[in-house]
Chain A
Amino acid sequence: MSKKILPLVLGAAMGVAASTAAGATTLEDVKAKGFIQCGVSQGLPGFSNPDAQGNWTGLDVDLCRAMAAAVFGDASAVKFTPLSAKERFTALQSGEVDVLSRNTTWTMSRDTQLGLNFAGVNYYDGQGFMVRKDLGVTSALELSGASVCTNTGTTTELNVADYFRANNMQYEIVAFEKADEVVAAYDAGRCDVYTTDASGLYAQRLKLTNPGDHMVLPEIISKEPLGPVVRQGDDEWFNIAKWTLNAMINAEEMGVTSANVDEMKGSDNPSVKRLLGAEGAFGEGIGLSNDWAYNIIKNVGNYEESFNANVGPDTPLGISRGVNALWSDGGFLYAPPVR
């Protein structure tokens, strides 16, 4: 008893938000406070970045908005906490955020040792290379003897070393502390190749003097599956995160968009009916209302809409679907069916 009273007294004395009683499930907590607290990055273009009006936008942000739509039927019932790479897991473990949607790579140690669960993958990233077009290189395997610009002390540097050694190629590392310095050095011609995660390459390309003179090579030399993370031990909430993502992917596969979702609700297709809650009680199975997926698609859109609005070819980033296409289009996205 005294163990719980002390912080509460402290809290009352210092204006603390003692929001929840320990022991309640995340879903109950979220419903009680009326919004989802979502951990995002401090700014990664296209994934979670604030725009000039101060609204958070991006692929990761849309996932949190979709969860809010699933729980409350209102995509704006979500608050964002920008987290640095160092504090992101502590923030989730301590309950400061309910879900972490912060371009976090799914690795075994993070999944198994930190008390966290990865709810799926919403973007398959990987380390890539950017070169000048006039270098006349079309494959990373032709880069022997090249000088490579990258950040110091990251896995990026180690991946490059592995890749070049494995393919018996010579290289020279030109490393800098900050991403901006790396881009500036590459732009000034101090190295032939710029390497970082592929999504980052597209974002940094916008800062080059002549973006059109550069190209991203097709080779991807590391696996970086990025996805939303929740606390371990709360399967109900884990299911909601997992199925929110699956609903967006399934909706794309069935051709359900925010524009035609009302129409599709009357569709004869049984799998669409199940997804949108016209048949069966799948929403109740995860502790939500049966129109949970309808709300997601109506308020946020399916995966394709989110992708195209934030990182797709028509945005400044101009990332093509690539491996992030549906399995039926030759990509990796494959969501289990709703049935």
Chain B
Amino acid sequence: MANSNIFQIRTEEAPTLPAPVSTTGAIGWMRKNLFSSISNTILTFIGILLAYWIIAPFIQFAFVDAVWTGENREACLPQDGGHGGACWAYVEAYFPQFIYGRYPSAETWRVDIVYALFALLLVPLAIPSAPFKRTNAILFLVVFPIVAYFLLTGLVIGDTVVLPIVETAVWGGLLVTLVIAVTGIVASLPLGIALALGRRSQMPIIKLVSIIFIEFWRGVPLITVLFMSSVMLPLFLPEGVTFDKLLRVLIGVTLFSAAYMAEVVRGGLQAIPKGQYEGAMALGLRFWPMMYLIVLPQALKLVIPGIVNTFIGLFKDTTLVLIVGMFDLLGQIQSSFTDPTWSTPSQGHTGYLFAAIVFFVFCFGMSRYSIFMENKLHTGHKR
């Protein structure tokens, strides 16, 4: 009898215990990732300290000490001898100017329509599952630029003024940034692809022209291009004949980024094995169908990061137009610093913070979209 207690026969399954607290949840994650060794623990604490040093004053500046409403500089003047917080009241007062530049306020609805149309056409174009891709693309690439052109510059038929003319000299702020960036982006990609194909062409003249074009535009800084177009060009033209400044900038920026784009695309073309070309030719495809159906889809997919890199660079380079007297977003913000009505110690910091936020939103958006497209299009190359 006594011995029968020695043997235990389990008749039911033991209860499943949760994993030890120290290996799961927040604590487990921290143990594994932050405190796994002495050196990691030290680094973690240094990291926390650095983050605290940077983030705490930032929050203090941008939110706690910030002034949200006010009529003029008096509202934003620091009370206790410190530097004071962000003067958001100033951004509020200048907000229309940051968005439209000096576009006449009675006409800004036209800019709003262009912004709305742009978003309305771009979003479905960017979502792969949205229908009517071809119609959408035609609307976006052909109809939209024409409509936007007349909406922004104005339309006069004969003697009737349908939309009052608004000169590009009064455009500014985000409007100029977006006009330059979008035109540059949309025009430089096809131009870049053409140049990349031209550079790899067997035909000597096309090849030579492409090489000269690419090397010339890559060899001069963008500032020089803008400066030449705004300072030198008027001297070559007879007195009184002036190109529109924005047009000069658009052409300069487009050609400049097309040269960079060409080299990015050429990188993709180099990566396509010769067998792909030979296979396409064996199927009886001529040059353009071969490129359009076989080579370019593979090549462009490979260089999406490079292309988006160029786009983001172009977007940020638009700030250089300030040196030719055009006011992009950053230029408009800097020019507002000269208004004595709002001059305070924190005005500059607030303005630059606002610029940084806007630029970050756009660039980060482009970057996330490129990652989304990469993931969607990857076919086994990805590691």
Interface, chain A (partner B; CB < 8 A): 3-4, 7-8, 11, 14-22, 29, 42-46, 49-54, 79, 81-84, 86-87, 90-91, 93-96, 180, 187, 203, 206-210, 315-317
The answer to whether B340 and A19 have CB atoms under 8 Å apart is: no
Bound CA span A51–B339, Å: 6
The answer to whether A95 and B240 have CB atoms under 8 Å apart is: yes
| Shortest Cβ distance from B343 into A: residue | A206
CB distance from B223 to the nearest CB of A (A): 11
Bound CA span A86–B223, Å: 13
Q: Provided the pairs A91-B234, A209-B345 are in contact, do residues A50 and B240 lie with their beta carbons within 8 angstroms? A: no
Q: Provided the pairs A16-B244, A22-B238 are in contact, do residues A206 and B94 lie with their beta carbons within 8 angstroms? A: no
CB distance from B111 to the nearest CB of A (A): 13
Other than the known A94-B239, A95-B240, A96-B242, what 8 A-B pairs have Cβ atoms closer than 8 Å?
A16-B243, A20-B240, A42-B335, A43-B335, A86-B323, A206-B343, A316-B73, A316-B340
The answer to whether A7 and B237 have CB atoms under 8 Å apart is: yes
* A82 cross-chain contacts in B, Cβ below 8 A: 325, 327, 335
State which residues 268-307 of B face A: CB under 8 Å: none
13 A-B contacts (beta carbon < 8 Å): A7-B241, A8-B241, A11-B241, A19-B241, A22-B240, A54-B105, A82-B335, A86-B227, A95-B240, A180-B348, A207-B344, A207-B347, A207-B348
Stretch touching chain A among B48-56, B75-83, B256-264: B75-83
CB distance from A96 to the nearest CB of B (A): 6
* B338 cross-chain contacts in A, Cβ below 8 A: 43-45, 49-50, 203
Bound CA span A90–B83, Å: 41
Bound CA span A209–B344, Å: 8
| Shortest Cβ distance from B101 into A: residue | A54
Q: Provided the pairs A4-B238, A79-B167, A207-B345 are in contact, do residues A49 and B340 lie with their beta carbons within 8 angstroms? A: yes
CB distance from B249 to the nearest CB of A (A): 13
Bound CA span A282–B238, Å: 34
Q: Is B97 an interface residue (CB 8 A)?
A: yes
Q: Is B146 an interface residue (CB 8 A)?
A: no
Q: Provided the pairs A22-B238, A45-B340 are in contact, do residues A208 and B345 lie with their beta carbons within 8 angstroms? A: yes
The answer to whether A206 and B244 have CB atoms under 8 Å apart is: no
Q: Is B334 an interface residue (CB 8 A)?
A: yes
Bound CA span A212–B115, Å: 45
**Number of B residues whose C-beta is below 8 Å from A?**
51
The answer to whether A45 and B339 have CB atoms under 8 Å apart is: yes
* A180 cross-chain contacts in B, Cβ below 8 A: 337, 348
* A17 cross-chain contacts in B, Cβ below 8 A: 242, 244
The answer to whether B339 and A87 have CB atoms under 8 Å apart is: no
Interface string of B180-211 (1 = CB under 8 A from A): 00000000000000000000000000000000
The answer to whether B231 and A86 have CB atoms under 8 Å apart is: yes
CB distance from B18 to the nearest CB of A (A): 56
The answer to whether B343 and A54 have CB atoms under 8 Å apart is: no
Q: Is B318 an interface residue (CB 8 A)?
A: no
Bound CA span A17–B169, Å: 13
The answer to whether B235 and A94 have CB atoms under 8 Å apart is: yes
Partner of B97 from A42, A46, A52, A86 at Cβ < 8 Å: A52
Bound CA span A210–B83, Å: 9
The answer to whether A96 and B234 have CB atoms under 8 Å apart is: yes
Q: Is B59 an interface residue (CB 8 A)?
A: no
CB distance from A20 to the nearest CB of B (A): 4
CB distance from B87 to the nearest CB of A (A): 12
The answer to whether B345 and A187 have CB atoms under 8 Å apart is: yes
CB distance from A54 to the nearest CB of B (A): 4
Q: Provided the pairs A45-B343, A52-B93 are in contact, do residues A94 and B237 lie with their beta carbons within 8 angstroms? A: yes
The answer to whether A209 and B83 have CB atoms under 8 Å apart is: yes
| Shortest Cβ distance from B97 into A: residue | A54
